[in-house]
Chain A
Amino acid sequence: MNELTTLRQQRPLAGKRILVGKPGLDGHDIGAKIVALTLRDAGAEVIYTGLRRTPLQIAQVAVDEGVDAVGLSILSGSHKELVADVLAQLRALKAGSVKVFVGGTIPRADQDVLRGMGVAAVFTADMPLDDVVAELAQQLS
């Protein structure tokens, strides 16, 4: 289908399990799907939740599947509430060490807020996919 870039050909995420989740009611899933397909191309085993998951459902799947990282995609402006909730649910399930990444329409000021909550990195639509792969590879190594 698409030519793999050099970075993804090296499969830097081989052996990693990553959950891509859509918390809340936001139905814009193309970004989540593009990232899921990209991470798979880069070697990861990817689980995609589908739409309209609660923070608890996402945390529970993360624990059940023993993932290395959770990626949350949010474009509805509700990122602060939903991310805080997912982080809290993960901690409650004693999985606070799972790295959480966030992608979507996240204003600059809010990116700092999310990182302050403990989010490992925030990605926006204008970033090259290779940058996303490189960031995850580094953080999960």
Chain B
Amino acid sequence: MEDFLVILLKVAAIYGGVIGTAALYTLAERKVAAWIQYRIGPNRVGPWGLLQPLADGVKFIFKEELVPAGANKLLFRLAPMMSAVPAMLTIAVVPFAGDMTLFGVDTFGAIAKIDMSAFYVVAIGGLGVYGIILGGWSSNSKYSLMGGLRASAQMVSYELSLLLGILSIVVVSGSADLYDIVDAQSGAIWRWNAFQQPLAFGLFVIATFAETNRHPFDFAECEPELVAGFHTEYSSMKFALFFLGEYCAMIVMASLTTTFFLGGFEVPFWADAPWVIQLAAFGAKTAFFLFLFLWVRWTLPRFRFDQLMSLGWKVMLPLSLLNVFLYGALTSFGAFGD
């Protein structure tokens, strides 16, 4: 019974934490944009505008639901859910901290610890593409359709690089369990996969930008060409769900980059740190990647769509394959035999 309560507590805490972070992240996006452009940003609701996300949420709830004429009513309502739910489900296996004891129950700092967690995230996260295609298609608007299709072609193209990057990490770690992958990077800081596999690190980070439809690859909502892309016709909470899903996906991707390449929750040179410190270390590393998403968005110009597809298929895919080969050969001939 206590076990069950602890599990419930963990699920609620992690899910609540991620949703809360996503809400604050929307504020951070506007604040960072403002700072980069030498403005102030939202500062009216609460101290430093901290309650802005809450105000936005309330406003979204009371906004009018608009279903465009000729739209497929059922799919139009389902699409935001199909976009947000997979992103929120991927947080289930992210290891936020190591072993811990809560109320006398020995447990670990993730919702679930499964053997194939490294591939679970790709398998579930990849399903987010349906929400975008269907959202774009069911709106009965040309902009939406084009945005949705572009985004889906982009997401499947870059999912390969993501998968191959994970594969090369798994080869070296010898396990597909995220906890084992983190373990393999414990101890000295140069044991982090970012230093062991710099090429895979670079490719993975680029692929996370494309997977989450973020700048410079945000063709799903390419404003100058497609108004707002696949969610042009969406309003109120349905619109908010698309965004919540996108921000959750970004948080998950940042967490995964941390887990795969920056040693996850491990504190360098302090193998058995208490879980609170591990959680803080994880948060700090993830925050860097979250900031990177914003920094890049307000700094770089956007790609052109054919350039994006060329980059994905002609550069990222061959390089990812080569990288898997390289580390496969090193592992197979005993270079990592420790």
The reply to whether chain A is a binding partner of chain B is no
Residues of B within 8 A of A (CB): none
